[in-house]
Amino acid sequence: MASEFDLTALVRPNIRALKPYRCARDDYSSGVLLDANENSLGAAVPEALAVEARDQSLNRYPDPLQVQVKEQLVQLRGLPQTDHVFLGVGSDEVIDLLVRVICVPGQDKILITPPTYGMYGVTAQVNDVGVVKVPLLVDTVNDPANVFQLNVPAMLAATAQDPAIKLVFVCSPGNPTGTLIHPDAVKKLLTSLDQFRGIVVVDEAYIDFVPGNKSLASWVTRFPNLVVLQTMSKSFGLAGIRLGLGIAQPAIIQYMNNTKAPYNISTPTARVALAALNKQGLADMRKKVATLSAQRQLLLDALPQLPGVGQILGTNDANFVVCQVVDATGAPSRNRALQIYQHMAQKMGVVVRYRGNEYGCDGCLRITVGSPEENQLLLQRMTEALALFQ
């Protein structure tokens, strides 16, 4: 059925007709470069930075496609070639480009599954695109294995009823749920072309914190209607360089390359990414992931022992945990959770994230797994705060 997917019919007509901007580095990148109106005398920076600026040729525009970085990512994620990879300024640029390439403003829609990453909805609103919400399954008392999983029948019913839905965003592991989505559920969305002919976007920002290779990145070779998002921000600890990636079949990647800004990934960003993706960098990433996973388990064991902490939600497949704050009756308490969150941040110097108003997360705090020392301080301060707000 995957062969019935028609990307050309899905892409906005103005994007299909777009003649992409051709920049100087698309043609030549070596020799005496007098073609791009760069500063031929070098970067104007303080002396302390002059050597680094010269070594990185910061007076020159970067590679528009950053092929070397893509070559490393192809090896890491088991992809056949670099034309399956798009690099963006964080995953947020990839999300924005997908919406701009596919969705006609004021006409088309995306589908999201609350509770989920907030930028899907924000991006849709910025681009004047509608948002349809089909919540994750949260009332699963008799089926705990499906907590925070997709309600696939409801999603397909929504897409079948409303052909204006062109993109479905699935966060796996979820944020703020920390739960890996069952692959069979994603496959059902991808293969039900009689009910949905759009694109399924699976956001895997936290995938490296899941034991084993659970990424769906390699699926893009089989499903032309799949885009997988990943990032260097989480497992690699490189949030500051703002590098995200979209993985898809080359036709989708080409439309995104046609639409993006000419030099969206800077030379310093690419240089750091290449270092992180070499053998030593990957070993360091995996070591840190193992340490954070062990610390995650420490929090999972310790938090429920604190008076006033209720359930730990989700399957904890990311680098954070989500716990309920409860009142004297054992019921989730938004007010108490908010008070503790604010007091810890303002008076104790420990900042977590209040998520108590989100669907299925009543009275919840989301706590990023810290270093061993940070986690001990968190538990101490949270114990004190819980005692203050009964």
Taking the model in full, what pTM does it have? Answer: 0.94
Domain 282-388, CATH number (from 3.40.50.360, 3.20.20.210, 3.90.1150.10, 1.10.490.10): 3.90.1150.10
Average pLDDT over residues 226-238: 98
pLDDT reported for residue 194: 95
Domain residue extents for the chain: 2-23+61-277, 282-388
Helix (H) or strand (E) holding 375: helix 372-388
> What is the distance in angstroms between the CA of the first residue and the CA of the last residue of the chain?
57
Q: Rounded distance, CA 296 to CA 386, Å?
A: 21
The model's confidence at residue 26, banded by pLDDT at 50, 70 and 90, is confident
Cα 120 from Cα 169, distance rounded (Å): 7
Q: So what's the pLDDT on residue 68? A: 96
Q: How confident is the model at residue 243 (pLDDT cuts 50, 70, 90)?
A: very high
Say which CATH class 2-23+61-277 falls into: alpha beta
User: Could you check whether 2-23+61-277 and 282-388 share the same CATH topology?
Assistant: no
Instruction: Supply φ then ψ for residue 170, to 5 degrees.
Output: -120, 120
**At 291, is the pLDDT very low, low, confident or very high (cuts 50, 70, 90)?**
very high
Q: Is the pLDDT of residue 2 over 50?
A: no
Residue with tokens 């009332």, as numbered in its chain? 139
Could you report the per-residue pLDDT of 343-387, keeping only the tens digit for each? 999 999 999 999 999 999 999 999 999 999 999 999 999 999 999
The Cα–Cα gap between 366 and 49 comes to 39
